[in-house]
């Protein structure tokens, strides 16, 4: 693995002191070897003049294969969106999943996301796409009761096989998912937890996304989803729960006590009119780790974490009548170091510190829309003014996946063309 020097950028460390300074970053053997003025050279050099250098962004909740279905179900509620999506999912071949996932990986590389936490079936196909693209994938094979699934074979067995096969991979970290309380029994949750414990992997679920989900679960079991999951022993610090919109303060405190990590998905929740707003200020006050996810391209319809950081910062201000709610720094934290915590990898990812894996992005600040810039407004610009298209270079594990806006790891035009053709056949448009 070649050494790499990122030269002359404004380094936004996201370290515990949130230091920002002009400097260089030396990468050796996939890790950050030095930060500051670096005098030695390296085999590869990225000129980062006029750029902020950030830890690569972490998308904490995604269904990347559904990138093929972008725009199929807008301006309709969750139930109708899911109905259309699941009907199309049933037509997907393994190769289609890979095609959609690879398209999504290219979109993420272009817009500065270096890691994502995915929830889907056929994650082995997503894993292929992740490896081909060179980015980092945290992939949860989704399980649910067999009565509800269209997966061939037992979802739990599929998940276990997937995890066993991919454990120990450098860029693909397997884990187990459970779709949600509306399609998973206590037994399914317990068996998923058993597999996660035995194999030492994380868990991933949808939780309290809509009021219908909460209402129906309470009607059926006498308990709201959080209390019910706690009772059956599913909550814990190896669980990442997406959405968490419909929570009481008591439920927030249960998540805090059990150290559950939350993936906040503001754009998806708004688009699907999930109603209410995830109580992020309360979560942060109670010490819950809150990361940021785009959710599926069907309900977003993109995966530009810069856009979603801005919406996260705006949404809580607007609904709390408090312009100080979720300041820019908090939004950037959600997309970086808190995302790493949500994936249990904060010792390796999420900030720029010596010894961490070198997942780094260079974000141009030279555009008219980021002018004027100076160190005191760089966090503001990253959250309120930048777009994914400002990402000039993307590095994962010390390897340059994109430089000067050109993706190096895959043939982008071919990926786009194949996805276009596949989608048109699937959708018959």
Beta carbon nearer to a second copy, 186 or 270 = 270
The runs of H, that is alpha helices, within 261-352 are 266-271, 280-285, 305-320, 328-335, 337-342
- The arrangement of strands across the sheet holding 57-62 comes to 57-62, 113-120, 136-143, 172-178, 203-207, 239-243, 261-264, 290-292
The distance of closest approach from Cβ of residue 135 to a second copy in the complex, given in angstroms and rounded to an integer, is 13
Beta carbon nearer to a second copy, 22 or 38 = 22
The distance of closest approach from Cβ of residue 84 to a second copy in the complex, given in angstroms and rounded to an integer, is 13
Which two structure tokens, joined as six digits, stand for 295?
């959710």
Question: Cα–Cα distance between 255 and 205 in angstroms, integer?
Answer: 13
Beta carbon nearer to a second copy, 80 or 146 = 80
Beta carbon nearer to a second copy, 336 or 385 = 385
Beta carbon nearer to a second copy, 24 or 412 = 412
The distance of closest approach from Cβ of residue 75 to a second copy in the complex, given in angstroms and rounded to an integer, is 4
Beta carbon nearer to a second copy, 236 or 327 = 327
The distance of closest approach from Cβ of residue 301 to a second copy in the complex, given in angstroms and rounded to an integer, is 4
Residue 288 backbone zone (phi > 0: left; psi -120 to 50: alpha; other: beta): beta
The distance of closest approach from Cβ of residue 304 to a second copy in the complex, given in angstroms and rounded to an integer, is 7
Question: Cα–Cα distance between 9 and 363 in angstroms, integer?
Answer: 9
Structural element, H or E, at residue 422: helix 412-427
Cβ contact 420:388 at 8 Å: no
Neighbours of 270 (CB within 10 A): 14
Question: Cα–Cα distance between 126 and 162 in angstroms, integer?
Answer: 11
| Cα distances (angstroms) measured from residue 124 to each of 101, 198, 272, 400 | 11, 20, 29, 24
Nearest to 350 by CA among 112, 130, 56: 56
Beta carbon nearer to a second copy, 147 or 323 = 323
C-alpha distance across the termini of the chain, in Å: 44
Structural element, H or E, at residue 158: helix 155-166
The distance of closest approach from Cβ of residue 170 to a second copy in the complex, given in angstroms and rounded to an integer, is 24
Structural element, H or E, at residue 166: helix 155-166
Residue owning tokens 């309380």: 181
The distance of closest approach from Cβ of residue 349 to a second copy in the complex, given in angstroms and rounded to an integer, is 23
Beta carbon nearer to a second copy, 200 or 375 = 375
The distance of closest approach from Cβ of residue 334 to a second copy in the complex, given in angstroms and rounded to an integer, is 15
Beta carbon nearer to a second copy, 211 or 231 = 211
The distance of closest approach from Cβ of residue 199 to a second copy in the complex, given in angstroms and rounded to an integer, is 33
Sign of the C-alpha dihedral, residues 71, 72, 75, 80?
Answer: negative
């Amino acid at each position: 693995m070649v050494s790499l020097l990122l030269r002359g950028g404004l380094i936004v460390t996201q370290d515990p002191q949130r230091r920002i300074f002009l400097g260089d970053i030396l990468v050796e053997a996939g890790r950050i070897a030095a930060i500051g003025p670096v005098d030695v050279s390296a085999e590869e050099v990225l000129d980062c003049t006029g750029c902020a250098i950030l830890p690569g962004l972490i998308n904490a909740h995604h269904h990347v294969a559904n990138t093929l279905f972008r725009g199929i179900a807008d301006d309709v509620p969750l139930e109708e969106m899911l109905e259309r999506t699941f009907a199309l999912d049933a037509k997907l071949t393994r190769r289609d999943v890979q095609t959609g996932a690879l398209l999504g990986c290219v979109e993420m590389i272009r817009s500065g996301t270096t890691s994502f936490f995915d929830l889907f079936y056929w994650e082995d196909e997503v894993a292929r796409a992740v490896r081909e693209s060179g980015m980092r994938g945290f992939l949860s094979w989704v399980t649910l009761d067999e009565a509800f699934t269209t997966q061939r074979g037992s979802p739990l067995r599929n998940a276990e096989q997937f995890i066993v096969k991919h454990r120990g991979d450098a860029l693909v970290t397997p884990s187990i998912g459970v779709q949600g309380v509306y399609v998973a029994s206590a037994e399914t949750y317990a068996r998923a937890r058993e597999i996660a414990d035995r194999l030492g992997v994380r868990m991933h679920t949808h939780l309290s996304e809509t009021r219908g989900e909460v209402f129906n679960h309470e009607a059926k079991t006498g308990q709201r989803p959080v209390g019910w999951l706690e009772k059956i022993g599913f909550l814990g610090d190896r669980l990442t729960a997406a959405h968490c919109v419909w929570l009481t303060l008591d439920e927030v405190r249960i998540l805090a006590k059990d150290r559950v990590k939350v993936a906040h998905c503001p754009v998806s929740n708004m688009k699907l009119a999930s109603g209410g707003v995830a109580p992020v200020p309360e979560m942060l006050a109670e010490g819950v780790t809150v990361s940021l996810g785009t959710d599926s391209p069907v309900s977003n319809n993109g995966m530009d974490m810069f856009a979603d950081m801005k919406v996260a910062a705006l949404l809580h201000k607007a609904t709390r009548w408090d312009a100080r709610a979720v300041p820019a720094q908090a939004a950037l934290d959600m997309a970086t170091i808190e995302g790493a915590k949500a994936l249990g990898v904060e010792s390796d990812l999420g900030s720029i510190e010596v010894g961490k894996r070198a997942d780094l992005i260079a974000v141009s600040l030279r555009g008219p829309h980021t002018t004027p810039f100076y160190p005191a407004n760089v966090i503001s610009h990253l959250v309120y003014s930048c777009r994914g298209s400002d990402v000039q270079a993307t590095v994962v594990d010390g390897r340059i996946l994109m430089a000067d806006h050109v993706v190096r790891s895959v043939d982008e035009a071919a990926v786009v063309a194949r996805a276009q053709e596949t989608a048109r056949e699937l959708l018959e448009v």
